Chain A
Amino acid sequence: MSWLRRNLRPIAWVLLASAAVILAFEILDAVVASGPPSEAEAEEAMGLTVAGLIKVTLFLAVGYGITIAVLRGVRGSSDSS
Chain B
Amino acid sequence: MTTATAPTRTRASIATRVWLDISLFVGYVLLSAPQTTGIRFHEWFTIVFIPIFIAHIVLDWTWIKTVFRRSDRPRRGEVRFNRVFDIVLFIAMVVVIYSGFVVSESMLPSLGFEPAESAFWSTVHDAGGNLLILLVGIHLAMHWPWIRRNIGRIAPSRRAAS
Chain A interface residues toward B at CB < 8 A: 7, 10-11, 14-15, 17-18, 21-22, 25, 28-29, 32, 34-38, 41, 44-53, 55-56, 59-68, 71, 74
Contacts and interface: CB of A to CB of B under 8 A. Distances in A.
A48 B142 CA distance: 31
- Chain B interface SS verdict (over half): helix
- Chain A interface SS verdict (over half): helix
Interface string B118-136: 1111111010001001111
A56 B27 CA distance: 12
Nearest to B103: A37
B35 A47 contact: yes
Chain A CB within 10 A, most for which of B58, B123, B140: B58
A78 B36 CA distance: 43
Contacts of B37: 52
A29 B118 CA distance: 9
